[in-house]
A and B are shown apart, each in its own frame.
Chain A
Amino acid sequence: MTAMLEVRGLTKHFPVRRGLLRRVVGHVQAVNDVSFDVNEGETLAIVGESGCGKSTIGRTVLRLVEATDGSVRLDGEQILNLSTDAMRDMRRKLQIIFQDPFGSLNPRMTVAETLAEPLLLHGLATPDTVDDKVTELLRTCGLSRFHAQRYPHEFSGGQRQRVGIARALATRPRLIVCDEPVSALDVSVQAQIVNLLQDLQAQFGIGYIFISHDLAVVRHIAARVAVIYLGRIVEEATAEALFAAPRHPYTLSLIAAAPRPDPTIRDGTEPVQGDAPSALAPPSGCAFHPRCPMAQEVCRTERPELRALGATRVACHFAEEVVPETVAIQTTPTAPSLQRRLDVLQSAALKKQSAT
């Protein structure tokens, strides 16, 4: 069986130009030989440090930037060589939402106009039915028709993200690239948006590429996770496997670095040293070797291929020797007092709801 979205060997090198003549002096290897699948109704998370190529992967899949090499198939159809016309049609099935919904919404268009545009463009509504469709979209995304005549600046960050989601949803997409959709939001609003994304997925069977640097959010929302280092996948596994038994030293250090909201588990592990290297001059061999606590001589000279280890794919010469216990990813239940009080609040909220 083939997956809904199949990405194979995706590569993007940006030319670096210098001087008066804008001569090409080198290439940023933003994405290198990246392959993954996304199934219908599934969430694949892409994680990694800033500049590792997450957004570029999302954008090349949508052809917002043109790939240097590779193939992207949606439902078996090759996207990367579609003509402009054919691609316009394809855009209906592939959508994107951004971290900053404000920057991606036209400040001079009301929400109704913003949502009506894709509906009419793709023939999903007629001028007669468009108002009803807009109202339905707003309701699906937790807004009301009173929001329709307002402008983006009149909304809070969470509401703007709902509008961004509604716009992506308008064309009934098969896949949505979510590029850090909750990173700019406060925790309480972040939870509302994450829940909305999950509800929409359950209802419409949309596949998500969920780009994030927050591993806790990723663990919650994703079925599978791809960890990127300097433009390459270094580990890919189900969320369950990745967090229980990470196989790549880099994954391990990402997990160890995530601060846990629990003062009883302050672990004293040394954080990974140094900065991520530049994609302009990637290190030889394994790109992680200058920071890797397990690096050996061979790591300096030979790049480890991505290979299967159980159900995990990992690119490390010594993946078998990675010991997950070193980061003590123990499962800690919610503090009992917190749960009890939450129950009190929730039953009060229910009572209030049924009273009105």
Chain B
Amino acid sequence: MKMEEVDIGTTTEPLLKVEDLAVEFHVSGTVQRALQGVSLTLQRGRTLGLVGESGCGKSVTSLSIMRLLPQPPGHYAGGRIVLEGRDLLSMPERDMRVLRGGRIGMIFQEPMTSLNPVYTCGEQIVESLTVHSGLSSKAAMDRAVELLDLVGLPSPKERAHDYPHQLSGGQRQRVMIALALANDPDLLIADEPTTALDVTIQAQILDLMTDLRERTGAAVLLVTHDLGVVAQTCDDVVVMYAGGVVEQAPTKALFADPQHPYTIGLMAAVPRIDTTVDRLSTIAGSVPPPWVKIDGCRFASRCPLADDRCRSAVPPLREIGPDHAVACWRAPIEETTV
């Protein structure tokens, strides 16, 4: 069976635009705001990094884009997610299913949860190819082996008949990538694709993703908590904190000129393999739990520059340089008199 292609329009850039997205979780009678006013833009052929500490809303953002947010307890409380001119939040689930695995490829942290344990790796790719691209099963099997070869799985012809549990973590992640790329997606969403892997295997997988991105021209949304991964692979970065975007910029600009106190604190806290310091710099305190209601800036409880305005009014995301935006009343910091 072949699902018909859904026309998602051919309007010009950008590929993906998330506007003012708000997501809530309704948990045992309480409403927890997981995302508040999240906006981001992804251009074709670029890799956008979504970075932040655990619980800041990276996965909720990427699940929302794929419309895979568990509902309930999840609930879209506002905003738009626009892929090539069409709002995904108002799209019928039937059309979404055509997009997922078709024009949107997905890679998750733990491939075991997204690969089906009772089908061989080859069968899963064949299934996706016949459903989305309408290939015959013979042609699909040939293509599946080609894809497994492309992602660097050793002896792909034989491995196609292996079940996921027969592969190592790195090999499973390669299969996941082959599956995500099967139908030439325009958008690849990768949520912590290398977090569970050794650095050696991580380097292989990130190389592979960069290589494939260059070859296919797909746009990549890379979710990670690792600033090193961002620096090495992303063109642009969005920094999230406690459910909101605090800073966004081209990668080079962000690292050369970090402006938000949280971004600065985060960068300074990362130990370096190529420099030594006497003592690691820390950010005092910890992320506020999601049930705490915050009126002003979400970082105020940990920010040394916080004043009354910070605690009462939410700082808007505003441009302070080319494509560089910060949500902080006091930025640019150096001009701030302390």
List the interface of chain A (C-beta within 8 A of B). 49-50, 156, 158-159, 186-192, 194-195, 198, 213-217, 219-220, 243, 253-266, 270-276, 329-335, 337-338, 340-342, 344-349, 351-352
Beyond A190-B269, A338-B267, whether A260 also contacts B228 by CB under 8 A is yes
Contact between B269 and A271, CB atoms less than 8 A apart = no
> A49, B198: Cβ atoms under 8 Å?
yes
Query: Which residues of B lie under 8 Å from residue A340 when comparing CB positions?
Result: 334
The residue among B261, B305, B338 with the most chain A CB atoms within 10 A of its own CB is: B338
Given A213-B198, A271-B204, answer yes or no on A156-B168 (Cβ-Cβ < 8 Å): no
Q: How far, in angstroms, from A198 to B225 measured CA to CA in the complex?
A: 24
Q: In the complex where A49-B200, A188-B266, A275-B201 touch, is A348 in contact with B304 (Cβ < 8 A)?
A: yes
Q: Say yes or no: A341-B264 contact (C-beta < 8 A), given A49-B198, A263-B231.
A: yes
A186 B54 Cβ-Cβ under 8 A? yes
CA A255 to CA B336, docked complex, whole Å = 39
Shortest distance from the beta carbon of B182 to any chain A beta carbon, whole Å: 23
| B272 CB-CB contact with A under 8 Å | yes
Contact B264 A258 (CB under 8 A): no
Known A-B contacts: A191-B283, A260-B228, A261-B255. Give 10 more (CB < 8 A).
Answer: A191-B269, A220-B271, A258-B228, A260-B274, A262-B231, A264-B255, A271-B203, A342-B268, A345-B305, A349-B284
Q: How far is the CB of A165 from chain B (nearest CB, A)?
A: 16
Q: Does B156 contact A (CB under 8 A)?
A: no
A261→B269 contact, CB < 8 A = no
Cβ contact within 8 Å between B231 and A191:
no
B206 within 8 A of A: yes
> Are A258 and B271 interface neighbours, CB within 8 A?
no
Inside 8 A of A255's CB, which chain B residues have their CB?
273
Residue of A nearest to B305 (CB): A348
When the two chains form their complex, are residues B54 and A257 in contact, meaning their CB atoms are under 8 A apart?
no
- Expressed in whole angstroms, the Cα–Cα distance for A262 and B274 within the complex equals 10
Given known contacts A257-B202, A260-B273, A275-B201, A342 and B231 CB-to-CB distance under 8 angstroms: no
How far apart are the CA atoms of A59 and B337 in the complex, in Å? 53
CA distance A156 to B204 in the complex (A): 33
Asked if residues B264 and A338 are in contact (CB atoms below 8 Å), the reply is yes
Residue-wise, chain B 189-227 has the 8 Å CB interface mask toward A (1 for contact) of: 000000000111111101100000000000000000111
**CB contact under 8 A between A271 and B261, given known A186-B54, A187-B269, A263-B251:** no
List B residues 22-62 near A (Cβ within 8 Å): 53-54
A243 touching B198 by the CB < 8 A rule? Answer: no
Question: Which residues of chain A have C-beta atoms less than 8 A from B204's C-beta?
Answer: 271-273
Known: A49-B200, A253-B200. A187 touches B272 (CB 8 A): no
Q: Which 6 pairs across A and B sit closest by C-beta, in order of nearness? A: A259-B228, A271-B203, A349-B304, A186-B53, A188-B283, A191-B280
Q: How far is the CB of B250 from chain A (nearest CB, A)?
A: 9
- Please state if B273 and A258 are interface contacts (CB–CB under 8 Å): yes
Alpha-carbon distance A342/B279, docked complex (angstroms): 14
CB <8 Å contact, A50 and B198: yes
Q: Do A194 and B255 form a contact, CB below 8 Å, given A187-B225, A271-B203?
A: no
Other-chain contact of B232, A263, A273, A276 (Cβ < 8 Å): A263
Judge whether B232 and A266 touch: CB under 8 Å.
yes
Specify which of B201, B226, B272 lies most central, judged by the most chain A CB atoms within 10 Å of its CB. B272
Interface status of B137 (Cβ within 8 A of chain A): no
Q: Are A254 and B304 in contact (CB under 8 A)?
A: no
With a cutoff of 8 Å between Cβ atoms, the chain A residues found around residue B273 in the complex are 215-216, 219, 243, 255, 258, 260, 329
Q: What residues of B have a CB within 8 angstroms of the CB of A346 in the complex?
A: 304
Assess whether B90 is interfacial by the CB under 8 Å rule.
no
Q: Which residues of B contact A188 (CB under 8 A)?
A: 53, 265-266, 269, 282-283, 286
Chain B residues lying within 8 Å of A332, measured Cβ to Cβ, are 272, 274-275
How far is it, in angstroms, between the C-alpha of A214 and the C-alpha of B197 when the chains are bound? 12
Query: Contact between B276 and A220 (Cβ–Cβ < 8 Å)?
Result: yes
**B168, closest chain A residue (CB):** A275
- B35: min CB distance to chain A, Å: 18
Partner of A341 from B202, B225, B226, B333 at Cβ < 8 Å: B333
Query: A215-B273, A337-B257, A338-B258 are known contacts. Are A271 and B200 too (CB-CB below 8 A)?
Result: yes
The B222-270 residues at the A interface (CB cut-off 8 A) are: 225-232, 251-252, 255-259, 261, 264-270
Q: Mark B283-319, 1 if CB is under 8 A from A, else 0.
A: 1101100000000000000001100000000000000
Q: Which residues of B contact A260 (CB under 8 A)?
A: 228, 231-232, 272-274
Most chain B CB within a 10 A radius of its CB, from A331, A332, A341? A341
Can you report 27 A-B residue pairs in the complex whose CB atoms are below 8 A from each other? A50-B198, A156-B286, A186-B287, A191-B281, A191-B282, A198-B279, A213-B198, A217-B271, A219-B273, A220-B276, A243-B274, A253-B200, A257-B203, A258-B228, A259-B199, A262-B255, A271-B207, A333-B275, A334-B268, A334-B277, A337-B257, A337-B258, A341-B334, A344-B305, A344-B333, A345-B305, A351-B338
- A50 to nearest B CB, angstroms? 5
**Alpha-carbon distance between A49 and B197 when the two chains are bound, in angstroms:** 9
Interface flag for B111 (CB, 8 Å): no
> Which residues of chain A have C-beta atoms less than 8 A from B284's C-beta?
349
Q: Which chain B positions have C-beta within 8 A of A263?
A: 231-232, 251-252, 255
Q: Does B171 sit within 8 A of A, measured CB to CB? A: yes
CA distance A141 to B204 in the complex (A): 39
* B54 neighbours in A (Cβ, 8 Å): 186
* Chain A residues positioned under 8 Å from B286 (CB to CB): 156, 158-159, 188-189
In angstroms, Cα B171 to Cα A91, docked, is 41
Q: Which residues of B contact A351 (CB under 8 A)?
A: 338
Q: Given the interface contacts A191-B281, A330-B274, does A213 sit within 8 Å of B199 by beta carbon?
A: yes
